[in-house]
Amino acid sequence: MQIDFGGVMEDIVTRKEFPLKKAQKILKGKTIAVIGYGVQGPAQALNMRDNGANVIIGMRKSSNNWKRAIKDGWKPGVTLFEIAEAAKRGDIVMMLNSDASMKPVWKTIKPFMTAGKALYFSHGFGYVYNDITGIKAPKDVDVIMVAPKGSGLNVRRNFLNGAGINSSFAVEQDATGHALELTLALGIVIGSGYIFPTTFKKEVTSDLTGERVILMGALQGVMSAQYKTLRAHGHSPSEAFNETIEELTQSLIRLVDEKGMDWMFSNCSVTAQRGALDWAPRFEKATKPVFEQLYKAVESEAEARRVTRLGSRPDYKERLDAELKEMRESEMWRAGAAVRSLRPHEKVRQGADKAAGITGRANN
């Protein structure tokens, strides 16, 4: 289906064009080995299992997530194996392990990537930055990607409520002549609402840029700046948090999602409307140089090398915990915890997530 994206036509594949039954037929008789059970792994594996695919899990038995996998219904020796055994059994090997573990995991599964198999990713990092990860697939295997545009948490949550999540897809190497239809089938069975084409390089570049800017980095930085400004001028923590975050996340952004920013601007007070229109260009001018600097750092692989270097340090987890603790214990997010506890729907949502086996890990 061709869709007009602001004057640019793109080919989008929907569940109507590529129904689940078609995907199931393509995947019939194939074993899908999901390597890794941390963030995307559980969501995609559970969605595929619920959609009738033959799925097995590959992970280290010593991993903290081994027990979690058993709790989710995966059976040791039947559908739950060590990484090498899962890769050996899989016709489609999904590398859903962390970026930092790509290099050692690839060494383990490489001997089992035999002719006719498919090597699947949900992020371009491991394959694009192969000088860092060492991943160079044999020429007789398909190399494909489906990248959900959201966290594992929402991949599973959206699947359970029937909405699906948007995903991009790419075929880097078509050894069998059937890589495209295989990719589209996998995109449907993991729970995508619609999927759009990209390349491995474009996906990893846009993804690394996005998560450092709007998705998390800039979002935290801008919110913190506004919160601290309000507090410095005598506003209470509850007022500063509500004006900075609560109104955005619980009201406005949902309307922007449904109707667009122009609608939001048209349906607020003249005071808010005029102020937003006048100040938006100033914020764009102030931040654009930072975004350009970041994009160049991603494009040059400097960010990938830095992440790999720091993420592989033996004390990384301890350092990470310290950084996250500092954020969590900041006044802004302590105020946030208090505000969230007052939401009437929060306990209902948490209960529904728990009943569905959805964890709170939101990393993509």
One of 123, 178, 235, 345 is an active-site residue; which one? 123
Q: What's the rounded Cα separation, in Å, for the pair 45 and 34?
A: 7
Residues 71 and 46: beta-carbon distance below 8 Å: no
Q: Concatenate the DSSP letters of all residues of 127-157 into one string.
A: HHTHHHH-----TTSEEEEEEESS-HHHHHH
Q: Concatenate the DSSP letters of all residues of 211-268 into one string.
A: HHTTTTHHHHHHHHHHHHHHHHTT--HHHHHIIIIIHIIIIIHHHHHHH-HHHHHHTS
* Residues in Cβ contact with 136 at an 8 Å cutoff, skipping those fewer than 6 apart: 130
The answer to whether residue 123 is catalytic is yes
Element holding 5 (H helix, E strand)? strand 2-5
Q: Concatenate the DSSP letters of all residues of 42-98 into one string.
A: HHHHHHHHHTT-EEEEE--TTSTTHHHHHHTT--BTTTEE-HHHHHHH-SEEEE-S-
Q: Write the CA distances from 150 to 50, 55, 114, 268, 363, integer angstroms.
A: 20, 22, 31, 29, 8
Residues 308 and 100: beta-carbon distance below 8 Å: yes
Just list the catalytic residues.
123
